[in-house]
Amino acid sequence: MTDTKLILLLKTCIFTGVILIVIGIYLHNFNDAIDEMGVTGIIISAMCVAFGMILSLPTKMYLTFLLVMREAERKQ
């Protein structure tokens, strides 16, 4: 896999993670159906946030590492 495709894949993971976090926050704060579900609703919104964090945080670190390495190669 080339660096360009890998970077595109990582950016897609970050975007998906952020969207899941926003969905989880929306479900928890602004959706009455989730409130009526009780504990199950809380678990659903928490899982959205958790999966969003899993997708976004490690990929940000790896993407930053790739971009730093690419910049170092260009300077040489």
What tens digit of pLDDT does each residue of 16-52 get?
999 999 999 999 888 888 889 999 999 999 999 999 9
Using CA atoms, how far apart are residues 54 and 17, in angstroms rounded to an integer?
7
Q: Which domain holds residue 40?
A: 9-71
Within a domain: 64:
yes
Q: List the one residue out of 27, 68, 24 whose CA is nearest residue 47.
A: 24
Q: Does residue 76 lie in a domain region?
A: no
Residue 42 covered by a domain: yes
Q: For the CA atoms of 45, 50, 52, 58, what is the dihedral angle to 10 degrees? A: 170
Is 60 part of any domain? yes
Q: pTM for this one?
A: 0.78
Residue 1 is classified by DSSP as -
